[in-house]
């Protein structure tokens, strides 16, 4: 995990995919993040904030970060 996170911070690894639980607290890889894609919508507001916090935080070298959330029309499934 430590080696993978170092590769993300350096830009060698450009895409990470995982759950809110697996990619939650302690994952400090924000250095080069330009976008976050949410493929589902968690029910707890704190989980949405946790996801947002993976990208929009001190240490990110990018001025702008896109947060994209995908939903099925007419539902949050």
The reported pLDDT for the residue numbered 77 is 59
Q: Could you tell me if 36 and 67 are in contact, meaning their C-beta atoms sit under 8 angstroms apart? A: yes
Q: Sort strands 66-69 and 35-38 into parallel, antiparallel or unpaired.
A: parallel
The reported pLDDT for the residue numbered 7 is 92
The reported pLDDT for the residue numbered 64 is 92
d(CA 9, CA 74): 37
Residue-by-residue pLDDT tens, the chain, 77 positions: 889 889 988 999 998 888 877 776 677 788 888 998 888 877 788 888 878 877 888 888 888 999 988 888 887 65
pTM of the shown model: 0.73
């Amino acid at each position: 995990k430590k080696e993978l996170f170092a590769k993300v911070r350096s830009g060698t690894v450009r895409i990470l995919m995982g759950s809110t639980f697996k990619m939650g607290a302690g994952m400090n890889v924000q250095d080069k993040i330009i976008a976050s894609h949410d493929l589902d919508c968690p029910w707890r507001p704190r989980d949405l904030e946790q996801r947002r916090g993976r990208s929009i935080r001190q240490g990110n070298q990018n001025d702008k970060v896109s947060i994209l959330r995908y939903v099925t029309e007419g539902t949050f499934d």
